[in-house]
Structure 1
Amino acid sequence: MRVYLGATLDDLDSSDGLIARPARAVTTSLRQALGTDADEEMAEYAALVLAAEDSLRLLADGAPLRRVVAAADVPDTAATPGEELARVHVPDLTWTDVVSFHVDSGEAHVRDLLERAVAGEAQAISAVGEEDLLWYDVTERETLLGER
């Protein structure tokens, strides 16, 4: 199962991987919410967007202002369903479980939106949700750490 974990750039600093946390995945509840017209790619994107929202909430703790979503592959039995839409709980993940990162650009307008969104400005929260995340291969973790 592909899972999407909201994270921060600081979370990528661990040599062991990511600690256990709630994640998002294509679940029965997500498929039902999207309706019958949604294909697998649309469902995966929806799970990623929800994880990006999770990451935004983590930025309120003073982390560098860039949303991070780690995409990982775990056995279906390792992800236990949560109560929220597309929510699953996963155990600690090693970096070999992670397949990619999805991260905000470092552009000034994105940082400004994130700063205002973290401060609770509704318009900025909505606008930051429209910003695409950039794709990084898992081998680029060190590069991302250097961009903090």
Structure 2
Amino acid sequence: MKLNILSGLIAAALLVSGAARAATQLITEEEAKLPPPKGAVATDRRGILRGPKVEFVSPGDSVSSPMRLQLKFESFGGAKIDPESVKVIFLRTPNVDLTPRVKPFVQADGINMQDAELPPGDYTMRVDIKDSDGRPGTAIFTLKVAPK
């Protein structure tokens, strides 16, 4: 009886640890097929001198999926980044809100997603943040995903 319980606990632990390492689907095949946005992509930075900064860290050039998606946040003037304000948008027509998929990986100093799963292609993303003083910051970057 004790052996069966112990075996069950070990099996459950292996299942949970395997699920924790599974890649997170950042963009689905259907979302990747949406048309790109028409015209220029607007960013609103008028008069904001001390707003927070979003820095794209990795991946570098074209990489295959799953990939590590890493962004760094920086605030100024003693303000702190508000992790609840982070929004991640896949710029398509219509735009796709990726925030719920990224939220588990958001911290006050950035986003660190170890195994982001994306189909091959180029994906323009926008990240919006705010600091504790309500000042916004935005970054737009392109992920280039090579075929496997």
What is the TM-score with the length of structure 2 in the denominator?
Answer: 0.25
Q: Which has the higher helix share?
A: 1
What is the TM-score with the length of structure 1 in the denominator?
Answer: 0.25
Q: Which has the higher strand share?
A: 2
